[in-house]
Structure 1
Amino acid sequence: MHDMNSFYASVEQSYNPELKGKAIAIAGNPKERRGIIVTSSYEARAKGIYTTMNVGEARRKCPDLIILPPDFPKYRTTSKAMFAILRSYTELVEPVSIDEGYVDITQLSNERHPVEIAQEIQQRIKNELDLPCSIGIAPNKFLAKTASDMKKPMGITILRKRDIPIKIWPLPVIEMHGVGESTAKKLASLNINLIGDLAKADEHVLRNSLGKNGVRLRARANGEDSREVNPDAIYDTKSVGNSTTLPYDATDLEEIEMTFGKLAIKVAERLEAKKLSGSTISIQIRDADWQNHSRSKTFQNPIYHKEVIYDEALKLFHKSWNGNPIRLLGITVSNVIDRKQTVEQLSIFNFEEHAKQEPIYELIDEIERKFGKGAIKKGIDLGTKPTYASKTSFSKDFFDDLKE
């Protein structure tokens, strides 16, 4: 597993050597007191700056902190160059985000020691791109990812299956790749607090509480992971989503609905660009106390129209919002398939509704072809004015570059 260290901040330092050795951070909106820190240099982290801290708090904690806006074209260009270096060794490279990927060096290691290969890759990225990275060497993806996180920056860590009881099992489950706060709480309710507890837990209990994911996590805790490095994985889109961090904690319903409208448009545009539709819609809500809430709905027929995405997202929102101020909103359409594969499952119950709606969608599409996007809207003004937050969700768009 190859993992760039503090990627956005490191790229800024490589482009501007005057920033080296200084506490710098990248923030969604540096001028907004409530703007969120996206990443920070190791010098900033040493002074207590961390991802998700707001700009106001960061400036109070570190008055000499240099806060920069994100430069995504720069980061995507650097990412492409980094993956080009990896691919110069083998085609078995699987990107998983803008700054990390899996590399299968099984064939290479027949002639050279894996550590020698890792050292050369690390030094090339440092010499050619002036960027630090950490590398985890292991027999499978899960252990390689875990190893890459164990020593930063510029670390190379080997993790063997026999190391698991000593190096992995004593750690809290929240430290485990694939376990978030929600899953950690569910595991804690089962008296599973350490990765070792998870490794030894009763499989039936885990299945009842967490479903298939519980069984999968137990296998991971025992160092089992059969996934292969798949260079074509970037072509297999499983979901399309967009989220936005609000400039302040929002409670105004009209403003929240407008935000959902912008997100629905973005998600629909991405589905349209890839000619996809999905059968499940999910919304994400993060409140001012950093509590995350999500709710989803699965349909018989895949969806892709922005009006449907917007309407269904709002329905889910009204079912789940408790009135607390909101910091982040997101919409995701998942279980996606190529629209050519979509077979409309019409029944006597939905045929009439389908027949009524389809001409409307066709008319809207025709009007927008003639007069431009946004010429006609349903309900409230959904607005398409681009903002920093709605234009990107950091790592999602860079895959398109790698496919070129």
Structure 2
Amino acid sequence: MPRLKKNYTTFNISRLSPMNTPSRRIAHLDMDAFYASVELLRYPELRGLPVVIGGRMDHRPVRLADGSLHFSRLHEYAGRGVITTSTYEARAAGVFSGMGVMKAARLAPHAILLPVDFEIYRHYSRLFKTAVARITTQIEDTGVDEIYMDLSDLPDDTPTLAQRIKQAVRDATGLSCSIGITPNKLLSKICSDLEKPDGLTILGMPDIPNRIWPLSVRKINGIGPKATQKLASLGITTIAELAQAELNFLQIHFGRSYAIWLSEASHGIDTRPLISNTEPKSISRETTFERDLHPRYDRPALSEFFTALCKRVAADLQKKGYAGRTIGIKLRFEDFHTVTRDVTLATHTADPISIRRAAGECLKRVPLKKKLRLLGVRVSALATIHSLPTLNTSPQQELLLAPCSPFPASE
């Protein structure tokens, strides 16, 4: 059992820093079951049904002769895919993101299976973020379906402002979101998940003992599965029990810096500022194959995947206005061993042919003797295109003229 603090139930508000004061209004907005909700806009006939997003594009709905759509079912799937997300009805059957599709099929065999369509998800992501930006420009973009906002300087009262934001998102997308508003990012992230879907949670520091401490430690963003398991082995499963543990006890098991963070997080203390202008460090694309591919015998398929990844990374760079100097690859073999290689060019590029050529050179530095389960391409050392001399970006169809496949030829 952990050593306990004395009188831990007394909340020590004097520990608050200027970045953690009750006058700050930091909001976390999280779209509700985002990918699944976007799909339900396209296929409203699926509302109220268990729907799972994952698998291959050949599971797209098929238009039948009578005009109706045929949807694939989970029990029809065979492969190694992973669930990206699911509707709340599917979650009620135990199907969650990160679960293998085959395992999900055993839990909900008749659930609808739809493939992931990142292009449309990014479209709706831009729509909701643009709508919010008309209300506040103090936005930290943290993912396709979530953002932080600093509402401290806006004149509206907090409930009115929150409803205004929620309505703006709904008007722009037809989708609902959940919002948590507290004095800092850590608490707001927790609170946006408390009343899903279409939730709103407004919390002050004095509310922590009643609203936050009864929750599981895994609700704190930054406490992952391994830390949760280790805390449980020490008799700590709730945030209250974590807040009760002595700092010295935590340091013995987690080290000084993480122990201090655990203690502060359990008391709702978070001094991180909102970062409204973030620059990406790298842009990458990767794919996990439905079956392990042999570098020699599956050379045509691997070459096709490789070229497609380079084209997509180049398109992402050009769309976002960046070019990079360091080109890298990521390989995961059938035994889950993962290797990376990279090369730094003399000049920045957003050219698909240049990226493919450099990534191909990286591939040649890896012994390709085992089957592959994952292939990725990454561009880093980024600079904005407008800050560089004019770049030549080849039309993507010219990749047909690029160097031959870097994978070994069949004997």
- Which TM-score bucket, shorter chain as reference? 0.5 to 0.7
Structure 1 residues 204 and 19: CA distance shift in structure 2, 3 A: closer
Structure 1 residues 186 and 283: CA distance shift in structure 2, 3 A: farther
What letter corresponds to residue 332 of structure 1 in structure 2?
A: R
- Given candidates 141, 144, 148, the residue that maps to 1:95 is 141
Structure 2 Cα separation of the partners of residues 125 and 379 of structure 1: 46
What letter corresponds to residue 400 of structure 2 in structure 1?
A: G
| 2:83 equivalent to 1:33 | no
SS in 2 for 1:131: coil
- Given candidates 291, 308, 322, the residue that maps to 2:358 is 308
What letter corresponds to residue 132 of structure 2 in structure 1?
A: L
SS in 1 for 2:401: coil
SS in 2 for 1:177: coil
Match for residue 253 of structure 1? 295
- Given candidates 184, 204, 209, the residue that maps to 1:140 is 184
SS in 2 for 1:267: helix
Match for residue 107 of structure 1? 153
What letter corresponds to residue 238 of structure 1 in structure 2?
A: K
Structure 1 residues 166 and 244: CA distance shift in structure 2, 3 A: farther
TM-score in terms of structure 2 length: 0.65
| 2:32 equivalent to 1:5 | yes
SS in 1 for 2:39: helix
Residues 70-105 of structure 1 show CA distances to partners (whole Å, capped at 9, x for unaligned) of: 444543443333223323322223332222112221
Is this contact kept in 2: 1:281–1:296, CA < 8 A? yes
Structure 1 residues 74 and 380: CA distance shift in structure 2, 3 A: closer
The alpha carbon displacement at 1:146 in A equals 2.2
Is this contact kept in 1: 2:313–2:379, CA < 8 A? yes
Q: How does 1:238-249 map to 2 (within 5 A)?
A: 238-248=281-291
Structure 2 Cα separation of the partners of residues 38 and 105 of structure 1: 31
Is this contact kept in 1: 2:94–2:107, CA < 8 A? yes
The alpha carbon displacement at 1:69 in A equals 2.9
Is this contact kept in 2: 1:260–1:314, CA < 8 A? no
SS in 2 for 1:3: strand
SS in 2 for 1:21: coil
SS in 2 for 1:253: coil
Is this contact kept in 1: 2:183–2:204, CA < 8 A? yes
Structure 2 Cα separation of the partners of residues 215 and 63 of structure 1: 45
Is this contact kept in 1: 2:140–2:274, CA < 8 A? no
TM-score in terms of structure 1 length: 0.66
Residues 206-232 of structure 1 show CA distances to partners (whole Å, capped at 9, x for unaligned) of: 478x8xxx87777655522332251x3
Residues 320-357 of structure 1 show CA distances to partners (whole Å, capped at 9, x for unaligned) of: x996x754443434453357989xxxxxxxxxxxxxxx
Is this contact kept in 1: 2:329–2:377, CA < 8 A? yes
| 2:127 equivalent to 1:84 | no
Is this contact kept in 2: 1:136–1:148, CA < 8 A? yes
What letter corresponds to residue 105 of structure 1 in structure 2?
A: L
Residues 128-161 of structure 1 show CA distances to partners (whole Å, capped at 9, x for unaligned) of: 6442211011112232222212332122123434
SS in 1 for 2:400: coil
Residue correspondences, number: 343
SS in 2 for 1:228: coil
Is this contact kept in 1: 2:169–2:175, CA < 8 A? yes
SS in 1 for 2:84: strand
Structure 2 Cα separation of the partners of residues 62 and 204 of structure 1: 40
Match for residue 398 of structure 2? 372
Is this contact kept in 2: 1:281–1:313, CA < 8 A? no
What letter corresponds to residue 148 of structure 1 in structure 2?
A: S
Structure 1 residues 187 and 310: CA distance shift in structure 2, 3 A: farther
Residues 27-65 of structure 1 show CA distances to partners (whole Å, capped at 9, x for unaligned) of: 241635224332211011111222233444434432331
Structure 2 Cα separation of the partners of residues 312 and 207 of structure 1: 39
Higher relative contact order (CA 8 A, sep 6+): 2
The alpha carbon displacement at 1:24 in A equals 1.3
Structure 1 residues 23 and 216: CA distance shift in structure 2, 3 A: same
What letter corresponds to residue 100 of structure 1 in structure 2?
A: E
Structure 2 Cα separation of the partners of residues 44 and 171 of structure 1: 24
Is this contact kept in 2: 1:276–1:337, CA < 8 A? yes
Is this contact kept in 1: 2:288–2:374, CA < 8 A? yes
Match for residue 283 of structure 1? 330
Match for residue 158 of structure 1? 202
Is this contact kept in 1: 2:30–2:179, CA < 8 A? yes
| 2:99 equivalent to 1:53 | yes
5+ residue gaps, structure 2, are 1-27, 60-76
Identify, as 1 or 2, the structure richer in helix. Answer: 1
State the identity %: 28
Match for residue 387 of structure 1? none
Structure 1 Cα separation of the partners of residues 341 and 402 of structure 2: 28
Is this contact kept in 2: 1:276–1:336, CA < 8 A? yes
Is this contact kept in 1: 2:343–2:358, CA < 8 A? no
Which protein has the larger Cα radius of gyration, Structure 1 or Structure 2? 2
Match for residue 393 of structure 1? none
